[in-house]
Amino acid sequence: MNSKLPSDTVAGRLLMVFVLLALCYWGVFSVVCPVTTYDAHVYNLARLAIAEKAGFWQGSAWNSNRQILFPWVFDAVHYPFLKLGRGAALPSFLCLVGALYMIYRLVAISWNRDAARWCVAALLAMPTVMLQASTVKNDLVILFTLTCWFYALYRYRSESRKWLLAVAALSLALMAGSKTSGIPLCGLLFLATLWHLRNRWRAGLQFLLFFSLFLPLFGSVETYILSWQIYHNPLGSKSFIRDSSNRDGIGGALANFVRYYIGNLSLGVDGAGHQSGLTGVLEGACRSFLDFVGLKNVGYRPDFNDANMVFGKSGGDAGSDFGLVGALGMTASTIFLLTRCTTDYIWKLSGAGFLTLFLTSYTIAWMPWNARFLLVPFVAFTIALTVKVFSEPGRFRAVQRLYGSVIIVSALALPFGSLNRRPKDLKTAIKHKEHLMFSEQPQLEKIWSDVRKIRSHNKNQHWYLVAGDDSWTLPFLLIDNIEWTPAPKWETILTKERETGRIGQNAFVLVLGREVPGEIPSFTVMKYSGTTLILQIETDLLRSAGQKLYLAPPLVRSF
């Protein structure tokens, strides 16, 4: 990239300092913050711990079907960090920094540095973007790989180097292997690449060659094989796929599109500590509109409908929106799309944003935590608006000041409105990381502490983990010096005890969200709310119980 960029202004440099300071804050968080996300504790990273203890190629130790059927290429990146005990969010943060750098370069070359800096600052002001950048979920990697693909092809146009085609192919393969929702986008971009290279058949063939090499390596082939072995279907449980997909065709897609559009309107003041009441107004308006246009109760996952539809804005990883900056970007992009010329870059950005928003609406059923699926469209909307405002320094001065202030204030306020990324959480992450680890499920911290206490008094005892479909298994499996056997089926305990032949050594069982069969010869050590308890099993009696043992229904079930 040889393009020369114009010189800096003082305001531009100050903005860059602000951006770097903000990145430092989020970077420190990504290093010290433990795993906090519900999904990671249940399946994204929990499956790494289960695969470590019970092996990958088995069907008896997984306690949730999401541990089996979702692609795991990006999840696996976190394995060394789980072993280290720190820095689990670093991969996502690096993805953010990489994406910001590419966006900066592309905007600076196509427009100017001021616009590029404001684009970067604007992304730092969007709650869902920053929360996903400081967590272990596999959503920001989709934005990153998409940006890598675009940047590689953009550079290939002027540099014509083969390895850039390899990077584009690797990006698409990683996109497909990181997340199920990345597969349709990967397919779309694969076709777009072939179209882009249509007049350079040699380059097109090279891209195909690289893609066919990288897809088996990074397309998460092993999870499809495992799903085939367990469900006789490479995509996993058919009912799970059906329920998680939009089952209502175009009608469902339009309804979801409306929900995402209205649900992401924002004043930028709602968060963990404060609710303005806007969400209630938006939910009511959305219901009325969908009813009016005849799209009532379509596009949902079966357990959601118009009556229980909620727009979160809770400040949590899964329940945030894109703030005032994202809402302004989305609204402005609608205007750009309707009023600007189709050959214009801003029109193309807006159009690409709405295309990917529609793709998500069409493929995935609506769920309250879907904002993180919308990173790509909202980043496109925000870049379109920011470029429009800041690309011509002499124009729109008042709008520049106003929009610039919104960006700065939003970026500064973002950590304070979050559920567990506030400055005081940083202190907690350093001193008592378990408090932060259980911030989404605080009741589990007591159980976790009890397990550690019992372990310290019974160092030679074996532990079984009998967990339900939505159980947080990861924090327990990561406790040092406990030899766990994940046993979602009770029979596994019997089989294991027969195999090991331990005599006179009672084993402990941590039961998370599972009914205990009456035939199990055990006594309760600790009892918690619901079906969560710690048992001590009398293994000698268990062996003699033999085949009378109650056979629990298979844990890996569809829902």
Answer yes or no whether residue 76 interacts with other proteins by CB under 8 A. Answer: yes
The least CB distance from residue 395 to other proteins, in Å, is: 30
SS3 465: strand
Among the residue ranges 155-163, 310-318, 353-361, 454-462, the one whose residues contact other proteins (CB under 8 A): 155-163
Neighbours of 94 (CB within 10 A): 17
Among the residue ranges 162-170, 407-415, 425-433, 529-537, the one whose residues contact other proteins (CB under 8 A): 162-170
Among 16, 94, 310, 526, binds other proteins (CB under 8 A): 94
Among the residue ranges 89-97, 440-448, 517-525, 547-555, the one whose residues contact other proteins (CB under 8 A): 89-97
Among the residue ranges 93-101, 123-131, 332-340, 435-443, the one whose residues contact other proteins (CB under 8 A): 93-101
Answer yes or no whether residue 264 interacts with other proteins by CB under 8 A. Answer: no
Answer yes or no whether residue 357 interacts with other proteins by CB under 8 A. Answer: no
The C-alpha atoms of residue 46 and residue 434 are separated, in whole angstroms, by: 16
Answer yes or no whether residue 379 interacts with other proteins by CB under 8 A. Answer: no
Neighbours of 160 (CB within 10 A): 11
Answer yes or no whether residue 91 interacts with other proteins by CB under 8 A. Answer: yes
* CB burial readout 212-240, b (16+ within 10 A) else e: eebbeebbbebbbebbeebbeeeebbeeb
The amino acid that residue 534 corresponds to is: I
Among the residue ranges 45-53, 62-70, 227-235, 324-332, the one whose residues contact other proteins (CB under 8 A): 45-53
The least CB distance from residue 56 to other proteins, in Å, is: 5
Answer yes or no whether residue 97 interacts with other proteins by CB under 8 A. Answer: yes
Answer yes or no whether residue 98 interacts with other proteins by CB under 8 A. Answer: yes
What number of chain residues touch other proteins (CB under 8 A)? 43
Burial class (CB in 10 A: 0-12, 13-18, 19+), 481: exposed
Among 19, 68, 77, 487, binds other proteins (CB under 8 A): 77
Among 57, 267, 515, 544, binds other proteins (CB under 8 A): 57
Angle at 314 between CA 313 and CA 315, to 5 degrees: 100
The C-alpha atoms of residue 348 and residue 370 are separated, in whole angstroms, by: 24
Query: In terms of residues, how long is the chain?
Result: 559
CB nearer other proteins, residue 150 or residue 448: 150
Among the residue ranges 67-75, 204-212, 229-237, 328-336, the one whose residues contact other proteins (CB under 8 A): 67-75
Question: Which tokens hold the place of 368?
Answer: 């309250």
Among 33, 51, 133, 383, binds other proteins (CB under 8 A): 51
Angle at 540 between CA 535 and CA 543, to 5 degrees: 95
Greatest CA separation for the chain = 86
Calculate the alpha carbon distances from 481 to 299, 456, 477, 478 in Å.
Answer: 46, 10, 10, 9
Handedness of CA 192, 198, 204, 205 (dihedral sign): positive
CB nearer other proteins, residue 1 or residue 11: 1
Among the residue ranges 87-95, 182-190, 243-251, 469-477, the one whose residues contact other proteins (CB under 8 A): 87-95
Q: Are strands 522-527 and 463-467 parallel, antiparallel or unpaired?
A: unpaired
Build a one-symbol-per-residue string for 193-222: x at contacts with other proteins by CB under 8 A, - elsewhere.
------------------------xx---x
Answer yes or no whether residue 5 interacts with other proteins by CB under 8 A. Answer: no
Helix locations, 85-220, DSSP H: 90-110, 113-124, 127-133, 140-159, 162-178, 182-196, 201-218
CB nearer other proteins, residue 167 or residue 447: 167
| 394 contacts: CB under 8 Å, gap ≥ 6 | none
Among the residue ranges 142-150, 327-335, 344-352, 502-510, the one whose residues contact other proteins (CB under 8 A): 142-150
CB-facing half-sphere around the CA of 437: CA atoms within 13 A: 27
The least CB distance from residue 221 to other proteins, in Å, is: 10
CB nearer other proteins, residue 226 or residue 337: 226
Among the residue ranges 94-102, 111-119, 233-241, 496-504, the one whose residues contact other proteins (CB under 8 A): 94-102
Answer yes or no whether residue 79 interacts with other proteins by CB under 8 A. Answer: yes
* CB burial readout 62-85, b (16+ within 10 A) else e: bbbbbbbbbbbbbbbbbeebbeee
The least CB distance from residue 348 to other proteins, in Å, is: 21
Residues 166-185 that bind other proteins (CB under 8 A): 167, 170-171, 174, 177
Among 38, 56, 289, 559, binds other proteins (CB under 8 A): 56
The C-alpha atoms of residue 257 and residue 296 are separated, in whole angstroms, by: 13
| 311 contacts: CB under 8 Å, gap ≥ 6 | 262, 263, 279, 282, 283, 286, 321, 368
One-character DSSP codes across 36-94: --HHIIIIITHHHHHHHHH-SS-SSS--STHHHHS--HHHHTTHHHHHHTS-TTHHHHH
Nearest Cα to 148, choosing from 112, 182, 174? 174
Residues 466-495 that bind other proteins (CB under 8 A): none
The least CB distance from residue 72 to other proteins, in Å, is: 7
Answer yes or no whether residue 72 interacts with other proteins by CB under 8 A. Answer: yes
The least CB distance from residue 177 to other proteins, in Å, is: 8
CB nearer other proteins, residue 74 or residue 190: 74
CB nearer other proteins, residue 147 or residue 227: 147
Q: What residue ranges bind other proteins (CB under 8 A)?
A: 1, 48, 51-52, 55-57, 72-74, 76-80, 91, 94-95, 97-99, 101-102, 105, 141, 144-145, 147-148, 151-152, 155, 161-163, 167, 170-171, 174, 177, 217-218, 222
